[in-house]
Amino acid sequence: MSHVLGRTAQSGPTVELGSFLARDGSEGASVALDLDRPHVSLFAGKRGSGKSYTLGVLAEGLAAARGVTGVVIDPMGVFAGLKAGGEATVVSAPTVAADALEPRDWCELLDLDPASQAGALLWQVAESARTLEGMQRAATEADAPRAAIRAVANHLTLADGWGVFNPEGLDAERLLEPSVTVLDTSKLTDQALSVVTAAVARTLYETAVAESIPRLPWLVIDEAQSVLDGIAEGPLRTILTRGRHPGVSLALATQRPAALPPVAISQADLICSHRLTATADIDALATARPTYLGASIQDRLPDGVGEAMVIDDTTESAVTVQIRERYTPHGGDSPRATGRAKL
């Protein structure tokens, strides 16, 4: 029977994480993570330490467990292998509805001050129209200064070129399907990535607040430092601080904990850290060091690839774990020159 991190109860869905790792390198009993209750979890580690691999282990568990589902934001395009398990789907060109963003999001996204004439017009059309086409039409027909109309129209044309706005884009029903949904955002611009992340986060949270949902969602984000600013920051911060009550979990992975806002670390009840070497990143994790950890974060961090220190605030424990092998292919390995032809 596995030792379950993240809860004190004995029953409920879990994901097999790996096995205890002793100081002499020997492996012990199996270790699992709780999926029965909502969590905020942080997965950290320098490049090549196994951080994204471990995130894939979590996604495999979400795909197999009942009562939960997962949405993976995949900015590096490394999680497509999850579909090999038959319980995950990959969306290669994710789109969202324009009205999934709030008027203030539009102003920030297009860098138009809401107090300016153009910003006020953009706020107005974002509030009244449901589609990007409708916003463009409303802007050109508005009773506003010509310069403001031209500015808004040009900015909306720019946004249209990102290719992520579609009235039939991802909605709550699609995101809450039993299978894990992998959103391949590797081809999106930074602005488009923020749009998709903000819309998905807000949709999951608002749906969970407003109605009884068929399964508890986990929003899983790789390279989270790239979206925890801009228009995605607000919806993600809401899940960080208020997501547990309606049942929305958040799993953030990063190579650079120091680049995350402090709330992302302070709100995490599960921290899974692979090897880190940058002082700033170690110091960032150290801000959340609980009294029960005993030694310093730096002293407890593992050295080997696939080894992780897991800090569990629910059981007030810290353990070292050897992460298990994936059931599905992992796409996160770096390309190698070995075996390639010399042209």
What whole-number distance in Å separates Cα of residue 12 and Cα of residue 270? 17
pTM: 0.93
Q: Is pLDDT above 90 for 296? A: no
> Are 94 and 181 a contacting pair, CB within 8 Å?
no
pLDDT of residue 24: 66
What whole-number distance in Å separates Cα of residue 127 and Cα of residue 113? 16
**Count of CB atoms within 10 A of residue 27's CB?**
12
What whole-number distance in Å separates Cα of residue 47 and Cα of residue 173? 35
> Are 74 and 222 a contacting pair, CB within 8 Å?
yes
> Are 48 and 244 a contacting pair, CB within 8 Å?
no
> Are 32 and 310 a contacting pair, CB within 8 Å?
no
pLDDT band for 342, please (50, 70, 90 cuts).
Answer: very low
What whole-number distance in Å separates Cα of residue 12 and Cα of residue 105? 38
Q: Is pLDDT above 90 for 190? A: yes
Q: Is pLDDT above 50 for 335? A: no
Two tokens, residue 288: 């959340």
Two tokens, residue 196: 């998709």
pLDDT of residue 23: 75
Q: Is pLDDT above 80 for 336? A: no
CATH fold label, 3-96+169-323: Rossmann fold (3.40.50)
pLDDT in tens, 59-111: 999 999 999 999 999 999 999 999 998 889 999 999 999 999 999 999 999 99
Mean pLDDT of 215-238: 96
Mean pLDDT of 262-266: 94
Domain ranges of the chain: 3-96+169-323, 98-160
What whole-number distance in Å separates Cα of residue 61 and Cα of residue 72? 13
The conformation of residue 60, written as its DSSP 8-state character, comes to: H
pLDDT in tens, 135-153: 999 999 999 999 999 999 9
> Are 273 and 285 a contacting pair, CB within 8 Å?
yes
Q: Which segment of 19-23, 133-137, 237-241, 274-278 scores lowest on mean pLDDT? A: 19-23
pLDDT of residue 300: 86
- List strands edge to edge, sheet with 14-21: 3-5, 27-34, 14-21, 317-323, 307-312, 270-273, 40-44, 249-254, 216-221, 68-74, 180-184, 88-91
What whole-number distance in Å separates Cα of residue 278 and Cα of residue 37? 33
pLDDT of residue 337: 40
